[in-house]
Amino acid sequence: MSLEGGRTFKVYDSEGKLQHTAEKSSNLREIIAWRPSGNWIALPQWFPNKSTISLFEKNGVRHRELVLPFDLQEEPILQLKWSEDSDILAIRTAKEKEQQQRVYLYTIGNYHWYLKQVLVYADTDPVAVVHWDTRMGAEQTLHVLLESGKQLAYCWAFEVEPYARHGIVGVIDGKRLLLTDFARAVVPPPMSQRVLQLDEYINAIAWDDQQLCVYTCDRRIHFYELKDRLQQQPEPTSGSIKLPPLHGEQLLELANFTYFSRDGQLLATTSALGITRLLWLQKSENEVCHWIDALTIDGLVNALSRATHNCRHIYAHTLDSGKTYDVSLASDNALAMEQVSAKQFEPSLERGLVTLRRQNLLQLGRSGEPIAEDVTSFLFIGTYLAYTQMNTLHFVDADNRQHLASRNIERGAKLVTVIDEEARVVLQLPRGNLEAIYPRLLVLDHVRVLLNALTRRDRYLEAMKLLRKNRINLNIICDTNVAMFVDHVDDFLREIQETQWLCLFISELQNEDTTAMYPRRANESPQRLPRGFKFEEKVSYICALFLSRMTETAEDRTRFRLPLITVFVRLGDVNSALKLIRDLGNPAQEDQLLKYLMYLVDINELYNVALGSYNLETALFVAQKSQKDPKEFLQYLNELKALPEDYRKFRIDDNLKRYSSAVQHLARCGEEHHDEAMEFIRKHSLYTVALSSYKAHPEFHRRLCVAYADHLRASAKLENASLMYERGGELQQALLSARHTLDWQRVMVLAKALGDQSLDQVALSLVGPLQQQGRHLEAAELVKEHVQDKEKHLEVLLEGHLYGKAIYEAGLQGGNVLDEKVAPALVAHAGQMHGSLKSDLQLFLEYKQRLLDIRQRRASGAEMEGDGDVDIDEVDLLSDTTSMHSSRYSGTSRGTGKTFRSSKNRRKHERKLLSLKPGNPFEDIALIDALHQHVTKIGQQQQVVRDTCKALLQLGGGEDTLANALQREFKTLLQTVESALDEIWIPELVGGGASGSLAQHLTGPNVDYMALQKEQRYALISPLKRFKPQLNAVDWQHEILPMILDLQSTLDNMEARNAQRNGE
């Protein structure tokens, strides 16, 4: 609405209610456009000194302005139109003097409005209306309807035109071309390094070598030469050239310029009616150009790209069909085209052809295989393909499509250019400002190239600078190619002249392959290591190599002083570092180097090292340079100085807690220090070191042996104590220690050496203890060798159930010994064993049946009430994630209860829970534990049963029946156990010990509390007992037993018939 003194506008909501009224502004035009995003309302406004597009907020406050390059009085605005994505503002104007209409396309970046395109239309067929496409994905398509009925569609896309070799980027801004070399500096837009000013509006640019081609809105082409990487202003190489009509027909707007500076040729495309014409233009020497050839391609070509293997080949990619065409520039000035197929790809091309479809689908390689979706920009960086998604930057190996690395970036950032020499990637953020990053993958790749460039000077220096700048582990210099680094270590030391850098490199050395922390290519050659090199010993290997090289170089010894000290510290030889400092003889340098050494090593440790070198002057030197109080060290050092050398070393070692070395020095001090030595050795338990140090003193050596034996006996190491007592001459104590260990052979030897006891009595005194420990065979051997009592020998064998040997001894003695003593004992033992096997079978069947009944009741749900009623004290044995709870305490809090923190109380409580008493809540767990022990015991009886049956067979006669019964009973027991193992140890029990089962039941929307409860119960079983015991079967049966019984039965029948016949 027009008001006196200005014009305003009002904002209403969808219901017609007034929301805001704008402030009055003079010279506002009636054209208005509201940005789809809703933040700005655009209106033309004229000022005496400028013409603008004023941008108002929806509350009517003027926010900012866009200064127009023309005067609204001379070129009025007919239409304002925002693109549907709010990125582009189209301004349609009428220029009456030149009888033409223009459409200006503006974008904003970093708070600056860029004029990107100017479309010119003659008044012979003026524009009727301009409209942006509203379809999803086609928001930047501009539809222009002419009054003649023609419809023109322009599909715009934001594209960066970098000069790839040097990182030079050009930005179109109306009649200005903003040029910046990002290899020298990242200049924030809208500023630039150089500005190329033209007379007309720029619509497109193209690069080639050192040449720049600029296309303006008046259909003229301008050529410029870039000199010294923009160190000088670009200069025109010739005048501008007007594009001629093609076959007398005026062309529409050109796009996709590709410039060939060597031949002065230019490629461009123009599209109409779904068909694209590829045009070839030749520039002549008289600044006149003409069309050479034209080629028709079905579809809208959205990109032209040169082939990396042949500069005379161009690849044209269509937007609608996604097809790619190979266009060759023949020498006879003709264009030839064929559609690219998988068979026509060359190896050098497979990684070079990349297409970005309208759906933001990035494709690479032979048949357009997709790499990623929702891609916003991509760029080739050497052999890497880099592309961005919403907030991520990805790197792919273009050779084998291997994904190497990713990193987060600001949301909406896009790739601009890359500088290979510095591994720098420049991104443009959504606001329009720039950000330079150094991806670790590119930095490491550039470092690898530097280190492998043998002919390049200062390669190690450049690699060090790059790694330090990006804060990357310096071990990469060594670990990239260890063999090469070792071979060229002299080059490394020569190039790194900065002493502090050498010290830093040595300090960062690590005993690991740091290249494993970073991504590696699949086809990368394996690491090459020198002979004898291990990464676990890399620090010592490299430091030793540096030490040998630095000490050999006499002229650079001053430069290598600090690195040498660092090397000594990394090798753990701080004493050599101190010696290096003391040998200088220059107090000023000594003070400086000692301060550096104190930076690497703690001052107290350094003082101890100096003192441990037994050089009191060095210790005093270190103490004086430190912050120590003289009262702490002067008196002590003076006392040491007055002592003899060996005793002084002993005192120093004692002070530094180097007790082994102290004993060795004390051993050289003479006999007057033996008592002190004995007390010191007992205090620090240095018996082994003392025994080797005092070999030259026999008497004191024997005292040490006795003292060591006392120490061993106090530690319950009686066997070793007996040996040391013997060496110390204490045979009686040696005998007592050997008797406690039941080393009967040694006891007999020592008893004979003492000679104060009869050997028979000593042997008889050992028989009883040996039998108590189950060593019956040794007891029998002792009696046989030293007592010479055959009856006692046979008695010991029978008590140990060694019936085979008893039969052997009885056979040697002859007489009725076998029938009177051996046979009754053997028969009684066999009968007892037969009964024991029956009891084992009955007990096994009872435990098994109880376990099956409990499982059946749990499965049927009969004891679900009882399962939940668990004592709160028992829950302490379960994990914190258990679902078991007591309904008795659901409404009240009982308190903390017992914690069972001591292991003794906990084991006692576990035994209570694993009781076999019927009704125990953990009765099934207790039964499994008992069955495992019972089955293990049964399996261990196989050899015992075999030996007993063999002994019975040796007796002959009626004992064969007992042997057969015993063997048959044990066989039945084994078969019953083996058949029931799978029934007892079910898979559910084994699964309870798996670490992943618990997590499996706790995941998902529904928690399986029943399965969780079972697993918590099974956690009380030892992991070994969750698996069924293995019965290691041996050949325990005697096959002759059934045959003997059958033969005996036949003989008995024959005797009976003979007796009957004789009676008749």
pLDDT of the residue at 311: 63
pLDDT of the residue at 1011: 65
Residue 893: is its pLDDT beyond 80?
A: no
Closest residue by Cα to residue 829 from 866, 803, 849: 803
Is there a single domain that holds both residue 877 and residue 932?
A: yes
For residue 723, tell me if it sits in a domain.
no
Q: How far apart are CA 555 and CA 539, in angstroms?
A: 26
Residue 163 to residues 3, 166, 183, 252, 322: CA-CA distances in angstroms?
54, 6, 11, 27, 26
Prior bond of 190 cis (ω within 30°): yes
Top-ranked range on mean pLDDT: pick from 237-246, 528-537, 811-820: 528-537
For residue 104, tell me if it sits in a domain.
yes
Residue 681: is its pLDDT beyond 70?
A: yes
Q: How far apart are CA 145 and CA 25, in angstroms?
A: 33
Residue 134: is its pLDDT beyond 50?
A: yes
Residue 642: is its pLDDT beyond 60?
A: yes
Q: How far apart are CA 743 and CA 753, in angstroms?
A: 16
pLDDT of the residue at 346: 35
- How would you classify residue 565: left for phi > 0, otherwise alpha for psi between -120 and 50, otherwise beta? alpha
Helix (H) or strand (E) holding 479: helix 475-479
Is there a single domain that holds both residue 558 and residue 634?
A: yes
Domain end marker among 610, 628, 644: 644
Residue 872 phi, psi dihedral angles, 5° rounding: -65, -25
Residue 214 phi, psi dihedral angles, 5° rounding: -120, 130
Is there a single domain that holds both residue 330 and residue 345?
A: no
pLDDT tens for 799-836 read 888 888 888 887 787 777 777 788 888 888 888 888 88
Residue 875: is its pLDDT beyond 50?
A: no
Query: Do 438 and 470 contact (CB within 8 A), yes or no?
Result: yes
Is there a single domain that holds both residue 777 and residue 855?
A: no
Q: How far apart are CA 95 and CA 101, in angstroms?
A: 6
pLDDT of the residue at 472: 92
For residue 894, tell me if it sits in a domain.
no
| Residue 441: Cβ within 10 Å count | 19
pLDDT of the residue at 878: 45
Query: Do 318 and 297 contact (CB within 8 A), yes or no?
Result: yes
Look up residue 66 and give its DSSP letter. Answer: E
Mean pLDDT, residues 944-953:
83
Is there a single domain that holds both residue 356 and residue 284?
A: no
Question: pTM of whole model > 0.75?
Answer: no
Query: Do 841 and 873 contact (CB within 8 A), yes or no?
Result: no
Residue 744 to residues 675, 706, 717: CA-CA distances in angstroms?
36, 22, 17
Compare 912 and 841 and report the one with higher pLDDT.
841
Residue 444 to residues 111, 441, 450, 473, 475: CA-CA distances in angstroms?
36, 5, 10, 10, 12
- Token readout for 615 is 């050089």
CA angle 535, 537, 538 (to 5 degrees): 60
Amino acid letter at 172?
I
Q: Among the listed ranges 55-64, 209-218, 843-852, 856-865, which one has the minimum average pLDDT value?
A: 856-865
Is there a single domain that holds both residue 346 and residue 334?
A: no
pLDDT of the residue at 374: 83
Compare 348 and 637 and report the one with higher pLDDT.
637
pLDDT of the residue at 275: 81
Closest residue by Cα to residue 449 from 430, 432, 462, 434: 462
pLDDT of the residue at 145: 93
Mean pLDDT, residues 299-308:
74
pLDDT of the residue at 873: 45
Query: Do 205 and 170 contact (CB within 8 A), yes or no?
Result: yes
Compare 86 and 283 and report the one with higher pLDDT.
86
pLDDT tens for 193-240 read 999 999 999 999 888 877 888 999 988 888 888 877 788 888 888 777
Q: How far apart are CA 981 and CA 975, in angstroms?
A: 10
Residue 615 phi, psi dihedral angles, 5° rounding: -105, 100
Of the chain, the percentage scoring pLDDT greater than 70 comes to 82
3-class SS string, 151-200: EEEEECCCCCEEECCCCEEEEEECCEEEEEECCCCCCCCCCCCEEEECCC
Q: How far apart are CA 336 and CA 346, in angstroms?
A: 18
Top-ranked range on mean pLDDT: pick from 22-26, 166-170, 535-539: 535-539
CA angle 576, 577, 582 (to 5 degrees): 95
Of the chain, the percentage scoring pLDDT greater than 90 comes to 26
Query: Do 582 and 590 contact (CB within 8 A), yes or no?
Result: yes
Q: How far apart are CA 532 and CA 537, in angstroms?
A: 10
Mean pLDDT, residues 181-201:
90
Q: How far apart are CA 527 and CA 486, in angstroms?
A: 13
Q: How far apart are CA 524 and CA 522, in angstroms?
A: 6
For residue 742, tell me if it sits in a domain.
no
Query: Do 465 and 474 contact (CB within 8 A), yes or no?
Result: no
- Specify the 3-state DSSP secondary structure of 453: coil
Mean pLDDT, residues 354-376:
64
Compare 118 and 1022 and report the one with higher pLDDT.
118
Query: Do 249 and 272 contact (CB within 8 A), yes or no?
Result: no
pLDDT of the residue at 366: 47
pLDDT of the residue at 328: 78
Pairing between β-strand 241-242 and β-strand 255-260 as defined by DSSP bridges:
unpaired
| Residue 739: Cβ within 10 Å count | 20
Query: Do 475 and 509 contact (CB within 8 A), yes or no?
Result: yes
Mean pLDDT, residues 929-958:
83
Compare 897 and 665 and report the one with higher pLDDT.
665
For residue 624, tell me if it sits in a domain.
yes
Query: Do 395 and 404 contact (CB within 8 A), yes or no?
Result: yes
CATH number, position 27: 2.130.10.10
Number of domains in the chain: 7
Closest residue by Cα to residue 153 from 299, 273, 265, 25: 273
Q: Among the listed ranges 99-113, 254-268, 446-460, 937-951, which one has the minimum average pLDDT value?
A: 254-268
Is there a single domain that holds both residue 494 and residue 549?
A: yes
Q: How far apart are CA 942 and CA 566, in angstroms?
A: 69
The half-sphere exposure of 778 on its side-chain side, counting CA atoms within 13 A, is 15
Q: How far apart are CA 949 and CA 967, in angstroms?
A: 7
Which letter, b or e, does each residue of 650-672 get, where b requires 16 or more Cβ atoms within 10 Å of its Cβ?
A: bbbbbeeebbebbbbbbbebeee
pLDDT of the residue at 571: 93
pLDDT band at residue 890, thresholds of 50, 70 and 90?
A: very low
Closest residue by Cα to residue 845 from 975, 729, 1025, 947: 975
Is there a single domain that holds both residue 526 and residue 536?
A: yes
pLDDT of the residue at 521: 72
pLDDT tens for 545-601 read 999 999 887 667 788 999 999 999 999 999 889 888 888 878 888 888 888 988 899
Is there a single domain that holds both residue 226 and residue 312?
A: no
pLDDT of the residue at 2: 46
Is there a single domain that holds both residue 173 and residue 303?
A: no
Domain end marker among 189, 208, 242: 242
> What value does the mean pLDDT of the chain take?
81
pLDDT of the residue at 320: 67
pLDDT band at residue 347, thresholds of 50, 70 and 90?
A: very low
CA angle 63, 64, 65 (to 5 degrees): 140
pLDDT of the residue at 830: 82
Residue 432: is its pLDDT beyond 90?
A: no
Is there a single domain that holds both residue 281 and residue 349?
A: no
Is there a single domain that holds both residue 293 and residue 352?
A: no
Q: What is the largest CA-CA distance in the chain?
A: 164
Q: How far apart are CA 920 and CA 930, in angstroms?
A: 14
Range of the domain at 844: 826-887+901-1041
